[in-house]
Structure 1
Amino acid sequence: MAGLKYLLDTNVLSEPSRPHPDAGVRLRMRAHRHEVCAAAPILHEMEYGLARMPVGARKRQLTRYLEQVLRHPLPILPYDLEAARWHAEERARLTARGRTPPYVDGQIAAIAATNDLTLVTRNTSDFGDYDNLRLEDWFGPPGTTVHDG
């Protein structure tokens, strides 16, 4: 997609909703606001987390935050045929090596890889085994973890 550079993982997209969000994440989200997107499986993770929460102030606050995210012109990329094929190949390769990454992580990695995007996540180790996947960790000061798969 033209102009997009970064796919935000769940932990990055949800960081601003925390009581004390990481300053590095907030700074980079503002700096790259026209270059970021999310993916349908990430929204599923957020919605699923909300559905499992007990009714209360925190759930209401997170629900409002998610509604704001969805109203913002943030592109939400689908898990399409190209991503499904990439995911199947990588899943087979990793399984043959004795690795079984979570299915949703594979979907997220596939969407980033097939759209030539850098996946921004705090959990770079969860995605490090995927081939041809660029990773960045925006938590902490600028210039922290970067991984080219």
Structure 2
Amino acid sequence: MNRFLLDTNVISELRKPRPHGAVVAWIHDLQDEQLFLSAVTMGELQAGIERTRRQDPLKAADIESWADQLASSFQILPMDTLCFREWGRIIDRKPDGLFEDAMIAATARVHHLIVATRNEADFKRLDIRIFNPFKNS
């Protein structure tokens, strides 16, 4: 049974008023124990919430409530020592700007997960197994 680490763009898609049908169908076909989030994704979501808060505090509060629900309903994997060591292996000689993606990739590699992402190009450069639920069904 395949297990997936959801990239930020996949989990964010599910919050949209009209999420991509292929993503919704794919998620519904999986068991809860097949789905994981990285603490890095939670950090990326929080950074987005803080940017939103400066412009629209009510919208930010709504998104933060959703993020709280994610944190309590998904298995959140930390960036621990094993993950950071793997991150160091992955990021060596890679372009700057891939730090968060490399952390997600490291978490996936340590836990033997497939990264579910729309961002295929960057993750392919990180030599990690990926799945694009936006175009695969």
TM-score tier, shorter chain, comes to 0.7 to 0.9
Q: Secondary structure at the match of 1:88?
A: helix
CA contact (8 A) 1:25 1:138 kept: yes
The list of structure 1 runs, each at least 4 consecutive aligned residues, that deviate by more than 3 angstroms after superposition, is: none
| Equivalent of residue 134 in structure 1, options 129, 132, 137 | 129
Per the alignment, residue 110 of structure 1 pairs with 106
CA contact (8 A) 1:11 1:121 kept: yes
Number of equivalences: 134
CA contact (8 A) 1:5 1:118 kept: yes
Q: State the 1:92 CA deviation.
A: 1.4
Provide closer, same or farther for how the CA distance between residues 107 and 122 of structure 1 changes in structure 2, counting only shifts above 3 A. Answer: same
TM-score of the pair, normalised by structure 2: 0.88
CA contact (8 A) 2:2 2:114 kept: no
Per the alignment, residue 59 of structure 2 pairs with 58
Distance 2:77 2:14 in 1: 21
Distance 1:81 1:141 in 2: 33
Q: Tell me how large the CA RMSD over aligned residues is.
A: 1.8
Residue identity opposite 2:76 in structure 1: I
Matched, 1:44 2:39: no
TM-score of the pair, normalised by structure 1: 0.81
Distance 2:58 2:18 in 1: 16
Provide closer, same or farther for how the CA distance between residues 38 and 4 of structure 1 changes in structure 2, counting only shifts above 3 A. Answer: farther
Distance 1:40 1:19 in 2: 25
Structure 1 unaligned segments of length 5 or more: list them: 143-149
Matched, 1:119 2:115: yes
Distance 1:90 1:141 in 2: 26
Structure 2 unaligned segments of length 5 or more: list them: none
Q: Secondary structure at the match of 1:128?
A: helix
Distance 1:11 1:33 in 2: 20
Distance 2:104 2:136 in 1: 25
Per the alignment, residue 84 of structure 2 pairs with 84
CA contact (8 A) 2:40 2:100 kept: yes
Provide closer, same or farther for how the CA distance between residues 45 and 75 of structure 1 changes in structure 2, counting only shifts above 3 A. Answer: same
- Aligned residues: percent identity? 27
Provide closer, same or farther for how the CA distance between residues 7 and 83 of structure 1 changes in structure 2, counting only shifts above 3 A. Answer: same
